[in-house]
């Protein structure tokens, strides 16, 4: 029964984090749409890292639902 109480805050945190990272990913995607010869490689790096974090959290959420 203690685990159930602990999973609700964890699920809430994961959902909040997914929402935040999705918003960040959309901002970075919009910024990268207008890339010219002066490409911002830091933004590309941030985009890829954010996308990876988002996928990791989505996988964790999926596994939590299967427990």
Please write the tens of the pLDDT for every residue from 4-52.
567 788 889 999 999 999 999 999 998 888 766 677 788 889 999 999 9
Counted domains in the chain: 1
What pLDDT shows up at residue 5? Answer: 65
d(CA 20, CA 33): 20
Task: Provide the whole-model pTM.
Answer: 0.76
Instruction: Please give the DSSP secondary-structure letter assigned to residue 18.
Output: H
- The b-or-e profile of 19-44 (16+ CB within 10 A means b, else e) is eebeebbeebeeeeeeeeeeeeeeee
In a domain, 38, yes or no: yes
Task: Name the residue range of residue 26's domain.
Answer: 10-64
């Amino acid at each position: 029964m203690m685990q159930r109480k602990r999973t609700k805050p964890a699920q809430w945190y994961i959902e909040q984090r997914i929402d935040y990272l999705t918003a960040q990913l959309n901002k970075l995607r919009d910024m990268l749409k207008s890339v010219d010869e002066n490409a911002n490689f830091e933004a590309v790096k941030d985009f890829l890292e954010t996308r990876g974090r988002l996928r990791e959290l989505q996988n964790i959420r999926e596994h939590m639902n299967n427990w």
